[in-house]
Amino acid sequence: GTISKEELAELMDTLGIDASPEEVDLMINEIDQDNNGEIDFEEFVAVMSRKVNATYTADQVKGAFRVFEGSAPAGYVTVDSLQRALTTYG
C-alpha cells in the first residue's frame, strides 16, 4: 500500500496539524525514496524507524504496523484504523 500526497494532507488535517500544500510536498519528498510521489510501506517503515525510536528495528515497526491492519488487505491500514490508533496511543 501507499500514502498519496492527498491522503497525507487529509491525515494531517484530521490530526489537527495545519500543513500547507508546500509542507506536505516537502514531507513526501523527504520520505519518498523512489520518487514516485507516494510513500510506500517500506519508505514509511524506514522513516518511522529513524524518527520514532532509533532502537526499534524495521521488523519491529512492521510488526506494530500489522497490528493496525485489521480487516484491510496486507500492507494497508484504513484511515479509520490509523485515526483510532493515533488518538488512542498518541
Task: Indicate whether 25 pLDDT > 80.
Answer: yes
- Taking the alpha carbons of 60, 62, 24, 7 in that order, is the dihedral positive or negative? negative
pLDDT in tens, 28-44: 888 888 899 888 888 87
The answer to whether 52 and 61 are in contact (CB under 8 A) is: yes
> In terms of C-beta density within 10 A (0-12 exposed, 13-18 middle, 19 or more buried), how is residue 21 classed?
exposed
Q: What pLDDT is attached to residue 2?
A: 85
Residue 17: HSE in the Cβ half-sphere, 13 Å Cα cutoff: 11
Selection from 33, 31, 27 nearest residue 11 by Cα:
27
pLDDT band at 50 (very low <50, low <70, confident <90, very high): low
Q: What pLDDT is attached to residue 16?
A: 79
pTM attached to this predicted model: 0.53
